[in-house]
Structure 1
Amino acid sequence: MLARVIVLAGPSGAGKSRLAERIGLPVLRLDDFYKNGDDPTLPRITEGANAGLVDWDDPRSWWLEDALAALDTLCRQGSAEVPVYDIARDGRCGVHTLDLHGSDLFVAEGIFAQEVVPHVGETGQLAAAYCVRQHPLVTFWRRLTRDLREHRKPPRVLVRRGLALMHAQRRVVAHAVSRGCAPVTPDQGYAAVTALARRSAVGEDR
């Protein structure tokens, strides 16, 4: 095995992508493994203001097996072909090669990242797993401003989805913890991963 993965899970807008960028290790974007918007197996919201819309916060809207295959290839070979997903278009728009360039650690982040933790833990590919969290109001505002800026969905949908996610945040964090993630703030996560990288560099964590 050439590398191991640091998993960053947490609610949408909690700061996973920013933390991954700050850490500076190669990053696998697990959100790129979403299903295309025309996939007939996509789950639908059944009640509330968004009833009838695709439930993009349900893990069934995402290809777990494809994500696990990419993780396995990266850990064993050091590079992998991975999809590029355009959220505004609800579909894949290409592929690219993610190369670890010899790094023995890399980050995998996304809103369903906790779902990969049991598997990579069993295979010995897991270095650490964290659930990034902030105050629900902070997460709501950061998520909304990001999604509006990137034109991910119509504004009304984004506001309704954001309110629903804000109320569900404690449940999301609890689920990630139950899957093996340690809850952290972005600063706590950065400190933990930095320490892990230092230990890995001298072979102390193996």
Structure 2
Amino acid sequence: MDVVPKQHSPLILLGGASGSGKSYLAQRFGRPHVELDNFYREISEHTPDAPLPQTGYGEIDWDHPGTWNCALAVDALIELLENGATQVPNYSISTSSYDSMRGIELNGGPLVAEGIFVSEILAPLQRLGVPVQAYYIEVSAVGTAARRFVRDVRERRKPLLFLLKRGYALFRADRHIRARHLDAGFCPMKKKALKAVLATTTS
């Protein structure tokens, strides 16, 4: 059965590499802004019988979609569109676990959702009949890597050695990340042009 959202607020998905500016744009233009990274799986789910995906250097691969709960994120967005409110977890990146829940309400729209796995959520939403606008932020891989490293160190997201390894891996994967989003159906757009589109949507 198709889902017909009761609210008339548009749903906008913002994709891009980690550090590309997704959160900034979503916070500026979203009413509300949903951080899909809060739907990461908890480290307690990593067990010998059911391990989470791992990197080649033996760490949990938090850049693999298998470490993210797509179904839970879809349910939250649908509930928000249908009922005007939902509950989302507060995910602590430093501890890889939930520390609380918080409520989100629609505030006139648009509803803007972003996260590093946002490409995974477009197809499930479309299958449910949800109208979605999906954009991929086109930015320099070098600039993105620098912003990401500064942010992650400032926020003490993970140990420094892990951040260096992850940063290099993400820099090398930049083209693949872009291709994954475009293959999923995202429209690539420079940040300046995207700001203009989002400003029009919120006016």
Give the TM-score normalised by the residue count of structure 1.
Answer: 0.89
Report the identity percentage. Answer: 34
Paired position in structure 2 for 1:185: 190
Q: CA deviation at 1:38?
A: 2.4
Partner of residue 110, structure 2: 105
One-letter code aligned to 2:76: A
Residue number in structure 1 paired with 2:54: 44
Q: Does structure 2 retain, via aligned residues, the 8 Å contact 1:20–1:107? A: yes
Partner of 1:83: 89
Query: How many pairs were matched up?
Result: 193
| Correspondence for 2:154 among 132, 136, 149 | 149
**Is residue 5 from structure 1 mapped to residue 15 from structure 2 by the alignment?**
no
Tell me the CA shift for residue 122 of structure 1: 3.0
| Counterparts of 1:89 and 1:128, CA distance in 2 | 33
Residues in 2 aligned to 1:160 and 1:130: alpha-carbon distance in whole angstroms: 28
Q: Which residue of the other structure, out of 20, 27, 36, is the alignment partner of 1:30? A: 36
> Match of 1:37, as an amino acid?
I
Give the RMSD, CA atoms, in angstroms.
1.3
Mapped contact 1:83–1:94 kept (Cα < 8 A):
yes
1:132-173 CA deviation, whole Å, 9 max, x = no partner?
Answer: 131111000000000000000111110111011011011101
- Tell me if structure 2 keeps the 8 A contact 1:11–1:133: no
Structure 2 partner of 1:203: none
How far apart, in 1, do the equivalents of 2:22 and 2:185 lie? Answer: 17
2 CA distance for matches of 1:193 and 1:74?
20
**Residue 127 of structure 2 is aligned with which of 114, 122, 126?**
122
Residues in 2 aligned to 1:89 and 1:38: alpha-carbon distance in whole angstroms: 10
The one-letter code sitting in structure 1 at the alignment partner of 2:159 is: P
**Larger CA deviation: 115-124 vs 55-64:** 115-124
- AA partner of residue 154 (structure 1): P
In structure 2, the partner of 1:63 is 69
Residue deviations 1:97-131 (CA, integer Å, cap 9, x gap): 00113x24200000001111112223332331011
SS at match of 1:72: helix
Q: Taking structure 1 as reference, are residues 98 and 35 closer, same or farther at Cα in structure 2, changes over 3 Å only?
A: same
Q: Distance in 1 between matches of 2:169 and 2:131?
A: 31
CA contact (8 A) 1:75 1:125 kept: no
Give the Cα–Cα distance (whole angstroms) in 1 for the partners of residues 133 and 123 of structure 2.
Answer: 11
In the aligned structure 1, how far is the partner of 2:153 from the partner of 2:181?
Answer: 26
Query: Secondary structure at the residue paired with 1:140?
Result: helix
Deviation at residue 183 of structure 1 after TM alignment = 1.1
Contact 2:14 2:137 in 1 (8 A): yes
Equivalent pair of 1:14/1:134 in contact (CA under 8 Å)? yes
Alpha-carbon shift at residue 20 of structure 1 (Å): 0.9
